[in-house]
Structure 1
Amino acid sequence: MIVPLFVGIVAVFLILFCASELWSAKQSDSWPKTRGTIIESHASHGSKHPSAYIRYEYKVGNVSYEGDRLSYSPSEERFYGNSGNLQARFYKGAVINVYYDPNSPSDSVLVPGYEQTLNEYGGIISGFFMLGIAVLVGWIIHKNRQGNAKPS
């Protein structure tokens, strides 16, 4: 009974995480912007596809912040083609627009919004599928235990 429970818990966390990312992406379309400066920009080869690591600083009121999120999109390539183009656009010292969450100014992006792909939607669908499997397996285990119980 522990495995279906564990799978169900993982599924709920997956659903909540992906839904939260989609919600933040949608909200970022209406975030205010401020000026910022790129303080670090270099190629990152940590995944299958090379990407750019970009860190920037910005101020909201009199408070300084740093960020490194380019966007909520799973692929920077939709904006600039590849990591080299990203680095050309977001080079160290470049002055850029930073979009920040007015309720939590430390949350920011350089490109607001979200390209609808299957990454987060796929995560949500997978989460519901896993949750369904966990419920089904749990129900089967429960029914088998009831069937094996001997009446007194």
Structure 2
Amino acid sequence: MFEDLGKYLLIAFAVFFGVLAWRAWQIRQASPEWPHVEGEMLSTRVFAQNETGGDRGVSTHEWYTEVHYRYIVDGQTYTGNRLRAFGLHHFSRDQAEAELAPFQVGSRVKVYYNPNKPSESVLIPG
């Protein structure tokens, strides 16, 4: 009985992550054609995801970025947290910080939004 439950949970996770990947791919394809508005950067962050590498137990880092911004479409205020359709991992803190350099807190930025669902947005289309 528990073996069947494990199989169903595995299938459910695979479907869930498949849907997320499919949606990100759709955003990647469509976002270069989306309209844009001016937004404001609220916060940015670079953080490390630690992993244990190989058989030696050596700690390695992958660096990720996080953003939060605000924008207005047709009088409605939205907040976004998507830099691009697919998040990137970086192999150094410097790479991650370089990606965020154009997006300083308080700065004005172009926000590309889905005209059919304005709550869906990116800062880097494609």
TM-score w.r.t. the length of structure 2 is 0.72
Higher helix share: 1
Which segments of 5 or more consecutive residues in structure 1 lack a partner in the other structure? 114-152
The CA deviation at 1:9 is 4.2
**In 1, are the aligned partners of 2:63 and 2:89 still within 8 Å (CA)?**
no
SS in structure 1 at match of 2:33: coil
- Relative contact order: is structure 1 or structure 2 higher (C-alpha 8 Å, sep ≥ 6)? 1
After superposition, the C-alpha distances for 1:113-143 in whole angstroms (9 at most, x for unaligned) are 1xxxxxxxxxxxxxxxxxxxxxxxxxxxxxx
TM-score w.r.t. the length of structure 1 is 0.61
Q: Superposition RMSD on alpha carbons, in Å?
A: 2.4
Please give the alpha-carbon distance, in whole angstroms, between the structure 2 residues aligned to 1:89 and 1:63.
25
Higher strand share: 2
Corresponding residue pairs, total: 110
The CA deviation at 1:31 is 1.0
Aligned to 1:103, which of 116, 119, 125? 116
Q: Where in structure 2 are the equivalents of 1:71-82 lying within 5 Å? A: 71-75=84-88, 82=95
1:57 aligns with 2:70: yes
Please give the alpha-carbon distance, in whole angstroms, between the structure 1 residues aligned to 2:82 and 2:122.
5
Which segments of 5 or more consecutive residues in structure 2 lack a partner in the other structure? 51-60
**In 1, are the aligned partners of 2:47 and 2:64 still within 8 Å (CA)?**
yes
Structure 2 match to 1:36? 39
Please give the alpha-carbon distance, in whole angstroms, between the structure 1 residues aligned to 2:12 and 2:77.
38
The CA deviation at 1:10 is 4.0
> Structure 2 vs 1, CA of residues 98 and 19 (structure 1 numbering), >3 Å: closer, same or farther?
same
SS in structure 2 at match of 1:82: helix
Please give the alpha-carbon distance, in whole angstroms, between the structure 2 residues aligned to 1:99 and 1:89.
15
Structure 2 match to 1:20? 23
